[in-house]
Every structure is written in C-alpha cells, then in structure tokens.
Amino acid sequence: MPRIISIGTAVPPYAYYQDEVKDFSYTLFRDSFPNIDRLIQIFSHTAINRRFFSMPREWFDTEHSFAERNQIYIDMASRLGEEAIRNCIEPIGMEISDIDHFIFVSTTGITTPSLDAHLINRLQMNPYVKRTPIWGLGCAGGVAGLARAYEYARAFPEQKVLLLALELCSLTFRRQDHSKSNLVATSLFADGAAAVLVSGRKMNIPIGPRIVTTQSRIWADSLDVMGWDLKDDGLKVIFSRDIPTLVRKQARCLIENFLAEENLDLGCIDSFIFHPGGRKVLEAYQDALELPKNKFQHAYSTLHDYGNMSSATVLFVLEKALQQSHRYGSYGLLAALGPGFSSELALISWDEEDNFESL
C-alpha cells in the first residue's frame, strides 16, 4: 500500500506576533464596528502566538489590485514551493528529477500555466513528470491532495508522487472589506507550504506510515459556509460563524462511520492529525468526539506557531506527528474541512512490515 515517505515545510520571511496584527486590525476596523473593543478580543482568544506573511507590515497599509496580488503570489509561491520541496526530498537522498507525478494544491492565487509548471522549470524536474493542479478546496486541500496521491500510488506502485499544498492567505487581505468575516479571517490566516512524498509499495526506499484509506464528504446546500467571492480587487472571504456548530453536529457520526468500514472505532486511534481551523473548531472536535485537549496537541502546537495556513496546515500537523515514535500497529486519523461544505478524512497506520520493500 502507498506510504508517506517524507515531509518538508516552509514559511515566508515575515513573522508577526498576534498582538502586532491585533493592533493593526484595531486601527483599521475601529470605525466600522461600534463594539470593536469587544470584537477585537478574538485575536487574544485564537490560541495563535505568531504567523508568517509574504509581505512586510507596511504593504498592508495601502490598496492593491488583484493583478498585483496575484503576481506576488506567483513569485513568492515559486520560492516557497521550491524550499518546501527541497526540504522534503533532499534529506532522504533522492533526486527531485525522480518524481513521477506532481500534485499541486492551492486556493489563494491563480496562474496559467499552473504553479506546478513554474516549479518543474525552476527545479529542473523530469520533463515527462505527470502533473495534477487542484484549485478551490481551501482548508480541506491538504488531506484531499494526500488522498489523490494515495490513489495514484496505489494504481502505479512503482512510482513516486509529490504533493505540494501551498497557500498565501495574507495576500487575499482587502483593506476596504470591513465585514466581520474579514475581521475573523485577519485573526486566523497565514502563509505556508508543505510538500509530502508518497510512494507505491514497490519502492526501494525507507518507508513511513501506510495510507490505509480515505474519504470525501460534501453536504448539500452548504455552499455559503466558506469560500471566496471574486471581487475586482481580489478574493473576498466567506467564513461562517456556524462552522464549530457543524463540527459538533456532524463530526462524530462521520468519523465513526468512516472508521467502522475498517472495523475500527475512535479508541483505536492514537494520533488525531486534524486541521486546526481555529481554537473554536478544535474545541468543537473535542466536544463531538469526547476527547481531551492533549489528543490534539500537534494541532494546537501548529496553530500556536503558524496560525491557519489553509490547505498546508494539516500537513504541518502531520509533520509534527511523524517526528514522534509510534508503536507498531497504531493508527492516525487526518481530518480537514473546506468549501463545499466538505470534509476530507484519511487513515494512516504504522504497521509491522519491513523498513524496505524491493522492486
């Protein structure tokens, strides 16, 4: 079965602590909300300490066109994507040109040719590499991308699949959008990239956890829960306050049914590798699954150190989980929610097979 071999992550150069962003946002939004002193406290309640942005602080003081934002996206994403891919591939002694299939996931910028083509040229990858760019999955994209990599590696067990999830959420910030959704988004979102190498079962390289199965779920009549509205100057955030409530109502049944298909239950899961959409979302998972906070330690740690980087975030959580030792036969569960309104799940296992599989 396909396995996760390596993960590499990268963040842009500008780091900001939450209090700095809070002060900036207070100045920007104070004339729009009579209760701004109360609303601004959401910044203090996010469980976020620091985030990374693609541009320096003064860039956010002026208006920017969609074209300008998007060119910055292409330039920074190319640099950040290269760094994440090198951090994934080079430590295991493999050549980037050995990649057979390249899956690229993003929702925060647009380019044709898609960014994977830019990176194939930049990194001098195999000119015959297959590529699959995926756009529009939002925060669910990291797990969905891993699922697509799993399916390809299962069909072609002699091949190596590279997944890159990359989001530059800060570039979508629009100064003139004084909605509560934009205020909440400003308190949460950040920039980052994560690359994951997945191999089929016939690869003669060190192995990691096996990907057992995956699941996608979309709810009808829920298109307005999260996403973008396309405006002349960029992407306007859609972000419903009902997301934690939806988690409390839907998550347990969804996850239990998913695990039951593998004759497992919640008690069989050792590692909960969940996308930290925000503190309230993680707390909603805790309530729904009746689990203590420490079960989500890697999600909280990622949220604290990086904020919500949309699709890439759950792969940062996965990286932390893989840095720990795991007993043979233990299971990990990846989960993320995204526009649609949709859910993505993936089950992984640290099994007892040998450390190498021959061709």
Residue 334 pairs in a beta bridge with 273, 346
- Give me the pLDDT at residue 340, please: 83
- Give me the pLDDT at residue 39, please: 87
What integer best gives the mean pLDDT of the chain? 91
Sign of CA dihedral 89, 92, 97, 102: negative
Span 255-264, average pLDDT: 95
Widest distance between CA atoms in the chain: 66
- Give me the pLDDT at residue 303, please: 97
- Give me the pLDDT at residue 221, please: 83
Banded model confidence at residue 357, pLDDT cuts 50, 70, 90 = very low
Question: What tokens were used for 260?
Answer: 């039951």
Q: Is the pLDDT of residue 45 over 50?
A: yes
Per-position b or e across 280-319, b if 16+ CB within 10 A of its CB: bbbbbbbebbeeeeebbbbbbebbbbbbbbbbbbbbbbbb
Span 255-270, average pLDDT: 95
Report the 3 state secondary structure along 67-123: HHHHHHHHHHHHHHHHHHHHHHHHHHCCCHHHCCEEEEEECCCCCCCCHHHHHHHHC
- Rounded to whole angstroms, the Cα distance separating 163 from 26 reads 38
- Give me the pLDDT at residue 4, please: 95
Residue 16 is inside which H or E element, if any?
A: strand 14-17
Domain 210-350 architecture: 3-Layer(aba) Sandwich (3.40)
- Give me the pLDDT at residue 205, please: 61
Q: What share of the chain is helix, strand, coil (3-state, %, to 5)?
A: 45, 25, 30
Residue 142 in contact with residue 194, Cβ under 8 Å?
yes
Per-position b or e across 230-251, b if 16+ CB within 10 A of its CB: eeebbbbbbbbeebbebbbebb
- Give me the pLDDT at residue 359, please: 27
Residue 169 in contact with residue 190, Cβ under 8 Å?
yes
Q: Where are the alpha helices (DSSP H) in the chain?
A: 18-29, 36-39, 66-89, 115-122, 141-155, 180-188, 243-260, 279-289, 297-306, 313-322
* Enzyme catalytic residues: 139
Banded model confidence at residue 253, pLDDT cuts 50, 70, 90 = very high
Q: Is the pLDDT of residue 241 over 80?
A: no
Span 37-43, average pLDDT: 90
Q: Is the pLDDT of residue 201 over 80?
A: no
Q: Please give the model's pTM, rounded to 2 decimal places.
A: 0.92
- Give me the pLDDT at residue 204, please: 60
Residues 6+ apart with CB under 8 A from 213: 261, 262, 346, 347
Q: Count CB atoms within 10 A of the CB of residue 34.
A: 9
136 Rama class: left (phi>0) / alpha (psi -120 to 50) / beta: left
Banded model confidence at residue 73, pLDDT cuts 50, 70, 90 = very high
- Rounded to whole angstroms, the Cα distance separating 313 from 307 reads 8
- Rounded to whole angstroms, the Cα distance separating 236 from 179 reads 10
Share of the chain above pLDDT 70, in %: 96
Least confident of 156-170, 225-239, 303-317: 225-239
Domain 3-199 shares a fold with domain 210-350? yes
DSSP state for residue 257 in the 8-state scheme: H
Span 82-108, average pLDDT: 95
- Rounded to whole angstroms, the Cα distance separating 51 from 188 reads 9
- Rounded to whole angstroms, the Cα distance separating 41 from 18 reads 11
Q: Is the pLDDT of residue 58 over 50?
A: yes
Residue 330 pairs in a beta bridge with 350
The values of phi and psi at residue 148, to 5°, are -65, -35
CATH class of 3-199: alpha beta
Residue 354 in contact with residue 347, Cβ under 8 Å?
no
Q: Which residue has the higher pLDDT, 279 or 32?
A: 279
- Give me the pLDDT at residue 139, please: 94
Span 113-132, average pLDDT: 96
Q: Is the pLDDT of residue 77 over 80?
A: yes
Banded model confidence at residue 354, pLDDT cuts 50, 70, 90 = very low
Q: Is the pLDDT of residue 336 over 50?
A: yes
Q: Which residue has the higher pLDDT, 64 or 181?
A: 64
Domain ranges of the chain: 3-199, 210-350
Span 251-267, average pLDDT: 94
